[in-house]
Structure 1
Amino acid sequence: MTGKSNLDLEYRSFSLSLSSPLETASGTIDSRDGFLVRLVDRGEGVTDPATVGYGEATPLAGWTESTADCEEALERARTAFRDDGPEAALESVDRQVAARHAVSLALSDLQANREATPLYRYLCRGPMIGRVPVNATVGDGSPSETGAQTRRAVERGYDCCKLKVGLRSVDADVERLREARRAAGSGVELRLDANEAWTYEEAESVLEAAEEFDVSILEQPLPAGALEGHAALRERARDVKIALDEGVLEHGIDAICESGAADAVVLKPMAVGGIDVARRMAAWTTELELTPIVTTTIDGVVARTGAVHLAASIPDVPACGLATAGLLAEDLGRDPVLLENGSAVVPQAKGLGIDEVWDK
């Protein structure tokens, strides 16, 4: 889709309360505020009716532009669509990743609707995919609370649990890991996500415990800038893989690969600028023999469903961080993705598969 067209971009703000406040390095989050985008192709009349595509921009401090900058970018995109068409609109928001995510997702949804194909098949032109594996997230809590959360996740059918660590002492987190493994049994994959919390010495200590309790992935144990430190940890690890999340935005895929800093990379579509960008990154990481893992940034249903389609477009994708709807007390509309036995059931309707959300 190039040049001037019949496309109209509209957007409206929203605020979604979280089920409970979330503590992060950037402060406490009690709501997710952003913009729902609707892209309308007016068509050419009765024989070519209007088609709609949806996008979502949900900025997150530390990962994307601010809410104010996002709104300014969407206004630029609206003008660019009217005056110059889709390519100009994408260029106008190139440096505002959440805004670009919304515009590119709306364009992709619109085109998949035109082709009457599910979004994931539009992204990869591949076979039908019924499900993608997802992990349960076990938040920070006491050892007994961690064990109880893990047990409930396993009872709900999850065979991969990711423990949030780094907010407590290393000894406390090791005890939490011990309880999680006891609750999960031997057949469940355990991952740890430290969100840059540790020094090298602390991470080294946790790595020993991770080997003992059969942890599969240790995610972002050191600050994002510490490529050499991550490479050294990876060299020491026997069976635990090192994954980078924050480090992906700071360094890029090529630098991570060249330094040997990771076995896997976490791709957040909202933070990298769209599912189209994330899809290209996933293809490149696979070529470089790194494993791509898709996660959300606690998004509304439009962006979250887009991330499910992205995961479905990646061959042999591992368990992804897509089971985040429960973190929201409210949403933009009905969720078309069913979570069942540790998998997300991929919508097979055309486009995103999302019903009308504009007037919710």
Structure 2
Amino acid sequence: MNDAILTPLFEDPQLSWERVELPLMVPIRTSSATYEKRDVLALRLRATVAGEPVEGFGECSPLPEWSAETISEVELALRGLTRNPAFQEGIGLAAERLDAALGNLAGMPTLRFGMELAMLDALARQRRVPLATLFAGDAPVDLTYGVRLQSTHALDPPAITAGRVRVSVGDSTRAAKLKVGLDPLETDVERIRLVREKCPNAAIRLDANRAFSFEQALAFAEAVAPFNIDFLEEPVACESVEEFAELSAKSAVPIAADESCTPPSFARELIAARAVNTLVLKPMSLGGLLPTLELIELAERAGLRVVISNLIESAIGRRAAAHLVAGSAHFKALEGSHGLITGNWLKEDLASERDKNLGGTLRLDDAPGLGFVPLPFASGKESP
């Protein structure tokens, strides 16, 4: 990371935001909830940096049944933040400076993510570089080929799932992520068998969203191991690093942590103990792109894999996460497919153009910052 981005002071910060409802193409069912829409807060920050006016955009979008805070709580917190003297004195991207300005609100990961992203976007726009450049340090950034995407599939009948995976992945080595744990074991196994049959080269990832007990998870892993599983994500609600380590040691397939990567302190413990094979990191849940980058660097040193994902966010948060991957492509930990294809799940979005998902990759613009002005602000709309 380029440490120079941590030094600028954003003076006289002014916030505005828009709350927007984005309907999904079809309901998304997981073991914890069914989603028909996403409520998002699009955020705009205006400030002065080194005497020059800057503007950047962020997103605060807690996901029900996943995030601890609600979107109404975040909106109320933003209203209070605009009257906070510590915030009005100026903010910066260094963790201690940002947390001091936010005070107790730094404990709301989605709010912290939105504020940090708005500053990063403003800084990249000021410097007239893509957002990805801010994360690269001295490494080159090439947006030509985009970010490789995993194909994510909900709980449909086995033959339908297999057909959809075949269309999206084909004979490639891209990852296909399947939800498991709500149907009987036989149904899950049949779904996985058919996917492997139709997509012999795909990296099959399974996400149980903590649906299993410890013993059920081991039995499930044994049943699906013949199908060359890339990893089984968060099969159990493990309460300690030791439980994760035991599960990984006994499982017939590699284990990934997802929900358990929040808070970042627990993710750091998982990495230190090498208790899992893979970490699925959602920057919105981790309180920012920079805390996520710190975990990527730790995972790299530990020889672990990292998948960057999102909370079914709008184009603001989703493309910001893709810029993080593109700007950190020099890390071996990030090789493979990432969970950022969810723009296809939304009937409407906050960018004027749909995601450029070409050949299984998300193509990013080389325009400054995020590469676009979110629609709620494109017409000059303001909120208190």
- Normalising by structure 1, what TM-score? 0.90
Deviations 1:317-352 (A, max 9, x none): 121100001111111122474111121223211111
Determine the structure 2 residue equivalent to 1:34.
Answer: 40
CA distance in 2, matches of 1:192, 1:182: 16
Determine the structure 1 residue equivalent to 2:76.
Answer: 72
Q: Which of 94, 106, 118 does residue 106 from structure 1 map onto?
A: 118
Determine the structure 2 residue equivalent to 1:128.
Answer: 141
CA distance in 2, matches of 1:197, 1:332: 33
Does 2:147 match 1:163?
no
1:224–1:246 Cα contact (<8 Å) kept:
no
1:156–1:341 Cα contact (<8 Å) kept:
no
Identify the range of structure 1 (301-310 vs 282-291) with the bigger mean alpha-carbon deviation. Answer: 282-291
Give the letter aligned to residue 232 of structure 2.
L
Q: Which of 311, 325, 331 does residue 325 from structure 2 map onto?
A: 311
RMSD: 2.4
CA distance in 1, matches of 2:38, 2:189: 31
Secondary structure of the structure 1 residue equivalent to 2:62:
coil
Does 2:161 match 1:146?
yes
1:158–1:342 Cα contact (<8 Å) kept:
no
Does 2:254 match 1:241?
yes
CA distance in 2, matches of 1:285, 1:335: 34
Does 2:88 match 1:83?
yes
Identify the range of structure 1 (293-302 vs 249-258) with the bigger mean alpha-carbon deviation. Answer: 249-258
CA gap of 1:329–1:75, structure 2 versus 1, over 3 A, is: same
Give the letter aligned to residue 163 of structure 1.
L
Q: For 1:164-243, what aligned pairs fall within 5 Å after superposition?
A: 164-185=179-200, 187-225=201-239, 227-237=241-251, 240-243=253-256
How big is the shift at 1:227?
4.0
Which ranges in structure 2 are unaligned for 5 or more consecutive residues? 1-6, 92-97, 380-384
CA gap of 1:41–1:146, structure 2 versus 1, over 3 A, is: same
CA gap of 1:188–1:282, structure 2 versus 1, over 3 A, is: same
Question: How many residue pairs get matched?
Answer: 355
CA distance in 1, matches of 2:118, 2:296: 20
Identify the range of structure 1 (27-36 vs 249-258) with the bigger mean alpha-carbon deviation. Answer: 249-258
How big is the shift at 1:165?
0.7
1:139–1:164 Cα contact (<8 Å) kept:
yes
Determine the structure 1 residue equivalent to 2:15.
Answer: 9
Q: Which of 346, 360, 367 does residue 328 from structure 1 map onto?
A: 346
- Tell me which stretches of 4 or more aligned residues in structure 1 moved more than 4 Å: 1-4, 42-45, 155-158
Give the letter aligned to residue 40 of structure 1.
R
Which ranges in structure 1 are unaligned for 5 or more consecutive residues? none
CA distance in 2, matches of 1:339, 1:213: 28
Secondary structure of the structure 2 residue equivalent to 1:11:
strand
How big is the shift at 1:4?
6.7
CA gap of 1:333–1:3, structure 2 versus 1, over 3 A, is: closer
Determine the structure 1 residue equivalent to 2:28.
Answer: 22
Give the letter aligned to residue 95 of structure 1.
G
CA distance in 2, matches of 1:93, 1:273: 11
How big is the shift at 1:82?
6.2
Determine the structure 2 residue equivalent to 1:287.
Answer: 301
CA gap of 1:272–1:20, structure 2 versus 1, over 3 A, is: same
Identify the range of structure 1 (23-32 vs 347-356) with the bigger mean alpha-carbon deviation. Answer: 23-32
CA gap of 1:89–1:26, structure 2 versus 1, over 3 A, is: farther
CA gap of 1:330–1:142, structure 2 versus 1, over 3 A, is: same
How big is the shift at 1:26?
4.1
Give the letter aligned to residue 107 of structure 1.
M
2:8–2:50 Cα contact (<8 Å) kept:
no
CA distance in 1, matches of 2:289, 2:306: 13
Percent identity over the alignment is 28
CA distance in 2, matches of 1:65, 1:21: 22
Give the letter aligned to residue 344 of structure 1.
L
Secondary structure of the structure 1 residue equivalent to 2:367:
coil
Give the letter aligned to residue 117 of structure 2.
L
Give the letter aligned to residue 112 of structure 2.
R
Q: For 1:248-263, what aligned pairs fall within 5 Å after superposition?
A: 248-249=261-262, 252-263=266-277
How big is the shift at 1:44?
9.0
